[in-house]
Amino acid sequence: MRDVSIIGIGQTKVGEHWDKSLRELAFQALEAAMHDAQVERVDALYVGNMLSGELTGQEHLGALVADFAGLRGIEAMKIEAACGSGAAALRVGYIAVAGGLCDIVACIGVEKMTDKQGDIATSSLATAADADYEALHGLSFVGINALLMRRYMHEHGYRKEDFANFAINAHANATRNPYAMFPHPITAQQFAEAKPVADPINLLDSSPIADGAACVILAPTSIAREFTDKPVRVRAITVATDTVAVHDRRDPLYLEGAAISAQKAYAMAGVGPADIDLFELHDAFTIMSALSLEAAGFAQRGKGVALALDNAISLDGHIPITTMGGLKARGHPVGATGMYQIVEVAMQLRGEAGPNQVRNARLGMAQNIGGSGATVITTILEADQ
Amino acid sequence: MEVARFWRTTEQRYRLVGEVCPRCHTKIFPPRDVCPACEAEAKTLYQFSGKGEVYSFTTIHSAPRGFEKYAPYMVALVRLEEGPLVTAQLTDVDESEVYIGMPVEMVTRVLREDDKRGMIVYGYKFRPVRQAEAERQLA
Ligand SMILES: [Zn+2]
């Protein structure tokens, strides 16, 4: 196996792009990343996407984007793993480069959600759950997270307001991210008074759906410096799964897939949670932040929320999370989200995060989750300067 | 929802019929033919009692497609007395009365009506046990 590095990154602003189609968003991110890497051609293109068939009646995104980008003839495919599609595309690209099958590979995450009314997009998200045994009972994706949050509060003795800092921290970091959907701060009082969505989850526990695309270019580490003087090494990228339905899990409050994925990543990179300088986690809802921190080994069971209460998650805390706004405030274009996380960790490791720069960031981790923990992809990146 | 898909899961949905593992005796719902505890083949049918307690619950205000006209409604994770958790709606109960640990029992109700084809999908929901007792006393 060859070592693999990221030699270029690109992203579009997250938000409602009424003037741009799916293929245009994907192309914009791809063009930015290819320009950043100073490459004119790639050997292969992997497009992470969840809902293009449901929401825009368009599948076959590999060929579609390759064609639109003037890359006709190259290897190209769509990769789907619900909200984990973005990082799943990176995993496929990594396999291709590490295995010596391709040299220069583009991995894109793209989602176009705002053409349809919000409730249709919301319903489509339920396709990540178990259609016969969860969705059939009218359970929405928000509802699944609400069930987890209420039980978590019950078992560990937290109040609803204890989760506020996850959202407040994400919004504070988004104010300094030009690509973020919601670059405005929120207060504890706004959190307390936010509109309920599915009790105990309110609007400010929840990440907003959006349009967006992000892209990275991979190359073998041995030639990465021919393209950039700031290559970022992929030290680990691992995928693990759990039951699709939450009710089938041994303990619904323990994200076993996230734990397995993180353990595999630590083993592959030869590091542990104490070595990680920042963690882009999958904060689709505040409860997921707590559960991810616990599963990835940053907090004991039931203590994930305590990390937020202690401010350990801020940019100068001992484990900064959602450093560019996270899903909550950067926005959650579902199939693109995993690639945004990778681009943001790479920015931190290249020292390009501006006012959000985590000092002396050398090792960064991202964890992208499909469904409510059924597919989990953990990536560990290292600055190589 | 397609007719064949609806028909395939009728026994489970109407009567809470699952499976039991012949090796380790784990009770399985929904049926999956492979024991989640020991991975043995498990195709022996098992009739659940329909009794359990609320593990967690929420109220859905913004309903997915097909459920809009029922909103708001309550969905719970119910811990069946035989072990498994199931996802199901709560019925015949006010939101303010529900608590984690509340004893509930299964009833068969309309889950949804498909407006386009007029198909009605029935299935299990859960209601508080105390209410059933009250009804028996009246009868
Ligand atoms: Zn067994």
**What does chain B look like in DSSP terms, one character per residue?**
--HHHHHHTHHHHHH-EEEE-TTT--EESS--SB-TTT--B--EEEE---EEEEEEEEEESSPPTT-GGG-SEEEEEEEETTS-EEEEEE-SS-GGG--TT-EEEEEEEEEEEETTTTEEEEEEEEEEHHHHHHHHHH-
Provide the ipTM: 0.94
Q: First and final CA of chain A: distance in angstroms?
A: 22
Q: What is the per-residue pLDDT for B131?
A: 60
Q: What pLDDT digit, counting tens, does each position of A321-375 carry?
A: 999 999 999 999 999 999 999 999 999 999 999 999 999 999 999 999 999 999 9
**Residue B61, C-beta contacts closer than 8 angstroms, at least 6 positions apart:** A196, A197, A198, B71, B72
Cross-strand pairs, B41: B34
Which residues in chain B are contacts of A246 at CB distance < 8 A? 77, 85, 87
Please compute the mean of the pLDDT values over residues A106-119 and round it to a whole number: 90
- Interface probe for A, chosen from B29, B55, B56 (most Cβ of A below 10 Å), is B56
Q: Which helix (H) or strand (E) holds A120?
A: helix A118-125
Q: In this complex, do B85 and A252 lie within 8 Å of one another by their Cβ atoms?
A: yes
Q: What is the per-residue pLDDT for B51?
A: 97
Q: Which of A39, A46, A113 is nearest to A74 (CA)?
A: A46
- Interface probe for B, chosen from A125, A156, A197, A247 (most Cβ of B below 10 Å), is A247
Q: Residue A102 catalytic?
A: no
**Interface residues of chain B, partner chain A, Cβ below 8 Å:** 1, 5, 9, 13, 30, 36, 55-65, 67-68, 70, 73, 75-77, 84-89, 100, 111-112, 121, 123
Which residues in chain B are contacts of A121 at CB distance < 8 A? none
Residue of chain B whose Cα is closest to the Cα of A251: B85
Find the B24 Cα to ligand 1 centroid distance in Å.
4
Query: Comparing A121-135, A148-162, A268-282, A327-341, which segment has the lowest mean pLDDT?
Result: A121-135
Domain A4-117+210-232 has CATH 3.40.47.10: yes
Find the A43 Cα to ligand 1 centroid distance in Å.
47
Residue range A138-202+236-383, CATH number: 3.40.47.10
Cross-strand pairs, A219: A5
CB A333 within 8 A of CB A214: no
Res A12 pLDDT > 70: yes
- Please indicate whether the domains covering A4-117+210-232 and A138-202+236-383 agree at the CATH topology level: yes
When the pLDDT of each residue in chain A is averaged and rounded to a whole number, the result is: 97
Say if residue A229 is exposed, middle or buried (CB neighbours under 10 Å; 0-12, 13-18, 19+). exposed
Q: Percentage of residues in chain A with pLDDT exceeding 90?
A: 95
Residue spans per domain, chain A: 4-117+210-232, 138-202+236-383
Which residues in chain B are contacts of A129 at CB distance < 8 A? none
CB A292 within 8 A of CB A367: yes
Pull the structure tokens for residue A173: 């970091």
Q: What is the per-residue pLDDT for B121?
A: 87
Pull the structure tokens for residue A3: 């070592």
List, for chain B, all residue ranges whose pLDDT scores fall below the cut of 70.
1-3, 6, 115-117, 131-139
Q: In this complex, do A248 and B73 lie within 8 Å of one another by their Cβ atoms?
A: no
Q: Which helix (H) or strand (E) holds A224?
A: helix A221-224
Domains defined along chain B, listed by start: 1-48 (no CATH), 49-139 (2.40.50)
- Interface probe for B, chosen from A123, A139, A197 (most Cβ of B below 10 Å), is A139
Catalytic residue (one of A17, A35, A83, A107): A83
Q: What is the per-residue pLDDT for B135?
A: 64
Which residues in chain A are contacts of B36 at CB distance < 8 A? 243, 248
Q: Residue A83 catalytic?
A: yes
Dist CA A100 CA B119 (whole Å): 54
Which has more confidence, A153 or B130? A153
Dist CA B139 CA B134 (whole Å): 9
Q: In this complex, do B30 and A138 lie within 8 Å of one another by their Cβ atoms?
A: no
Q: What is the per-residue pLDDT for A294?
A: 98
Rg (CA), chain B: 16
Residue of chain B whose Cα is closest to the Cα of A252: B85
